Amino acid sequence: MGLTHVTVRMSRLAGKGRVYEADCLVDTGALHCLAPGDRLRAAGIKPEGKAVYELANGEPVEYEYGFARVEFMGSMTVAQVIFGPSGVEPILGVVALENTGIMVDPARQTLKRLPAIPLK
């Protein structure tokens, strides 16, 4: 698939206060969302733990993670977000896509809303 981007707003779970908004790379190979940790903290999103993640080059790296309200394309969900290094390109992961019933059309390199979210 080519590169697809979408504007995403991330905020703390209570939904009040500051918001981190960015043009995120849609990455169907990434399970969770990722954004610069300093920007997530500025939006009031707090780390909840740490986990080891595998980068695209196969390198394991430990990052903090938390949970945020994630909004894009008129939909909202709660998703795990990884606190990446400053300046990292933000990523919208596949869990947030599936939670909102939005899929990637690989032929057109666009996002497409499903008529219904599958329960099967």
Confidence at residue 78, expressed as pLDDT on a 0 to 100 scale? 97
Give the residue with greater pLDDT, 66 vs 27.
66
Tens digits of residue pLDDT in 30-80: 999 999 999 999 999 999 999 999 988 999 999 999 999 999 999 999 999
How far is 106 from 120, CA to CA, in rounded Å?
22
Q: Which of 65-79, 82-96, 98-112 has the lowest mean pLDDT?
A: 98-112
Q: Which among 30, 35, 23, 117 is positioned nearest to 77, based on CA atoms?
A: 117
Here the tokens at position 1 are 């698939």
Strand partners, 9: 21, 71
What does CATH list as the number for 5-113? Answer: 2.40.70.10
Q: Which among 35, 37, 30 is positioned nearest to 8, based on CA atoms?
A: 35
Q: Is the pLDDT of residue 104 over 50?
A: yes
How far is 113 from 98, CA to CA, in rounded Å?
10
How far is 102 from 29, CA to CA, in rounded Å?
15
- Over residues 22-31, mean pLDDT: 92
The pTM score is 0.90
Q: Is the pLDDT of residue 1 over 50?
A: no
Q: Which among 68, 87, 89, 65 is positioned nearest to 77, based on CA atoms?
A: 68
